[in-house]
Chain A
């Protein structure tokens, strides 16, 4: 069973690599934050799988904590984009009504 868990953790690592590639290539800052959010969620799952590989149940607490930290980090980064002069002042705000073509 342990070898199978190694395969699972490797496929989660592949997904994390794909998310990192999107974070490096993303055209807008929101793509990058989205990819980092997905990276964090996959990191939580990876820590849970690693806890089962090593046989220590205490590692699960780290996964629990990291899921909360990841959420707070994403919301804080978005608040920084919204409030600060962080990439957001380049483009004027465009008002698009949902009935019209953009």
Chain B
């Protein structure tokens, strides 16, 4: 019974985050900011929904499959979003609303 409540909370939070990401896709001013809104739905939203589902399945082959789905999403999402950003930058799409450009900075480099 408690497991049902925990999985319900995870699923509800995940669905809420997915709608927030969808709204962010329309509220953000330009393409590069939309990339961040999609990043929310790719990481925490998919984690919460798949985690809630695997609470219902219990420790079985089904939850192993859910874990693999999560792993694939988690490894492919930065690659596709870097590919999108890199292609847009090379094409010449300039970010809107960038007020100031920070100069190149040096952080400490581990030897």
Interface flag for B6 (CB, 8 Å): no
Tell me the complex Cα distance, A1–B9, Å: 12
Interface size class of A (residues with CB under 8 A): 35 or more
Chain B, Cβ-Cβ closest to A97: B101
Tell me the complex Cα distance, A15–B84, Å: 21
Q: Mark A61-98, 1 if CB is under 8 A from B, else 0.
A: 10110011001001100100110000010011110101
Q: Is the CB of A18 within 8 A of B26?
A: yes
CB distance from B41 to the nearest CB of A (A): 6
Residue numbers in B under 8 Å from A14 (CB-CB):
19, 22
Tell me the complex Cα distance, A68–B25, Å: 23
Residue numbers in B under 8 Å from A94 (CB-CB):
92, 94
How many cross-chain pairs have Cβ atoms below 8 Å apart between A and B? 147
Residue numbers in A under 8 Å from B57 (CB-CB):
52
**Interchain residue pairs with CB less than 8 A apart (26):** A1-B4, A7-B15, A8-B14, A8-B49, A11-B15, A15-B21, A19-B22, A22-B25, A22-B34, A28-B88, A30-B88, A30-B93, A33-B84, A34-B31, A37-B81, A38-B25, A38-B41, A41-B73, A41-B77, A44-B69, A45-B45, A52-B56, A68-B72, A75-B80, A75-B83, A100-B101
Interface residues of B (CB under 8 A from A): 4, 8, 11-12, 14-16, 18-19, 21-23, 25-26, 31, 34-35, 38, 41-42, 45-46, 49-50, 53, 56-57, 61-62, 65-66, 68-69, 72-73, 76-77, 79-81, 83-84, 87-88, 90-95, 98, 101, 103-104
Interface residues of A (CB under 8 A from B): 1, 4-5, 7-8, 11-12, 14-15, 17-19, 21-22, 28, 30-31, 33-35, 37-38, 41-42, 44-45, 48-49, 52, 57, 60-61, 63-64, 67-68, 71, 74-75, 78, 81-82, 88, 91-94, 96, 98-102
